[in-house]
Amino acid sequence: MSDQFKEQGGTSTMDPSPLRRWIASKFMTSIVDPEKLKKTRRKEELGRVKSGAMHVVEYFHQVDDGYSHLAAQMLKALTEKYDIELECHLVSGPLGANAAEPELLIELSRYDSSKIAHYYGLTFPDNLPSPSQANIDLATSICAALDAQGFVNNAKPIGEALWSSNDNALASLAEALGCASESDLQEKIEAGNARRAQLKHYSGAMFYYAGEWYWGVDRLYHLEDRLSSIGAVRHPQMPLIAPRQEIIVGDSRDDGSLTLEVFASLRSPYTSIAFDRAIALAEATGVTLHVRPILPMVMRGVPATTEKGIYIFTDTAREARAAGVPYGNFYDPIGEPVRQCYSLYPWACSLGKGNQLLSSFLSAAFVDGVNTNNDRGLRSVIENAGLDWQLAKESVGQDGWQQALEDNRLAMYDSGLWGAPSFRLLDRDKTPVLALWGQDRLWLIAQEIQQQLALRIE
């Protein structure tokens, strides 16, 4: 095994004991059981009715986060349509082990927000420099001086002044609305962080309602569906304020000149529900598909906390149900199973079955609950991919694949991305025209493909 691979955290130290692997897998499977979720929701609602409490939605706003600015633009519509009491908290970005690549995350939030804003009827400036720290501090101080209703009414103009670097507008808002003292500001952020930690989360742009978290405008439709299902809606005839974005293939078809790169990880829940759909998108649009596997984050030394893992796993379950994708019967493939599958990937590619191998492995780990940490489990992966187990045994465990995965990771980081799945769309000159992170950006990749093809027609 190469020293480079060891530096990425890919050694056997990442392998849990068989018992720990089984226990963790059973636990994660249980928390996404849809019947269990229904029972928990019913219990929450019965408790609320019994206590006579209102439907309380809590929102956690991070001023320097692009996703928070988009979410803040939805607050007024949310309170007008739904019969809720909205509590707003100021928070900092993710802290400690939850803060994987914080600088990249902030930059991505700005870039990504500018790409998705108009699809939700929102605004976010494109191609402007990042706000100065002085303006971020001033905007945060203004927000901290507001009560809940004042925040709902003014978070949008404050954010617009901040993100457009409009110093005069920000100064005028500070004069009109006031600013919190340094001590009050610090107290508000500490209180927001404490409340967020108490509810077991770590990020900004988050909505919380009755035991569940909803991230930004991308997950608001889940919250809206839930509020509607329990009758907490003032205007049922109104459409969702932030509907789910659908993958629209369109009529135009490429001749293979565009390339869709898919950065996939074999232990990523989000990859497991996006991988086959990404392949299908490439096939339907005619673009060239280039799958670029990467090591799971924890196997390359990126920390992960239990609360983050639980949120990701449960959020993936919601997204899978919305997309009609199977998911949830989990058997953790961390460590040796991932390494063995990747060691077979070059061989599978030589037979034209590389994508089938990765797809089969993801299905085994996240859909079928197959223990891939033994020969029986790995054999099922191989054979379900249409490959020969006897031939596979000759290649499994061999070195030589690690450098390709490292090259893929570096290429992903070059585009400001670090997690899986990530996507890059390249033009005919192999120049990236769009680079995005997350299974919930396939719809935007599809939009960009059609836009690129339309430019040629014009």
Give tens-digit pLDDT for 60-70: 999 999 999 99
What does the pLDDT average to over 67-76? 98
Confidence of residue 101 (pLDDT cuts 50, 70, 90): confident
Extract the tokens encoding 352.
């034209």
What does the pLDDT average to over 283-298? 96
- Whether the CA torsion 116, 119, 124, 128 is positive or negative: it is positive
pTM for the full model? Answer: 0.94
Distances (CA, A) of 340 to 3, 20, 86, 189, 265: 18, 20, 49, 46, 13
| pLDDT above 60 for 1 | no
Average pLDDT, the chain: 94
- Alpha helix stretches (DSSP H) within 218-305: 220-229, 269-285
What does the pLDDT average to over 364-390? 98
Extract the tokens encoding 447.
């939009």
Confidence of residue 104 (pLDDT cuts 50, 70, 90): confident
Extract the tokens encoding 68.
């928070």
The boundaries of every CATH 3.40.30.10 domain in the chain are: 35-229, 247-457
CA dist 419 and 409 (Å) reads 9
Confidence of residue 458 (pLDDT cuts 50, 70, 90): low
At residue 98, the pLDDT reads: 81
Confidence of residue 127 (pLDDT cuts 50, 70, 90): confident
| pLDDT above 60 for 11 | no
23-45: per-residue pLDDT in tens?
Answer: 999 999 999 999 999 999 999 99
238-272: per-residue pLDDT in tens?
Answer: 999 999 999 999 899 999 999 999 999 999 999 99
Q: Under CATH, which number does the domain 247-457 receive?
A: 3.40.30.10
At residue 305, the pLDDT reads: 87
Confidence of residue 5 (pLDDT cuts 50, 70, 90): very low
At residue 10, the pLDDT reads: 40
At residue 302, the pLDDT reads: 80
- pLDDT > 70: what percent of the chain? 97
At residue 133, the pLDDT reads: 96
In CATH, the architecture of 35-229 is 3-Layer(aba) Sandwich (3.40)
At residue 304, the pLDDT reads: 78
| pLDDT above 80 for 316 | yes
Q: Helix, strand, or coil here: 437?
A: strand
At residue 42, the pLDDT reads: 96
Distances (CA, A) of 161 to 70, 71, 171, 311, 430: 13, 16, 9, 32, 37
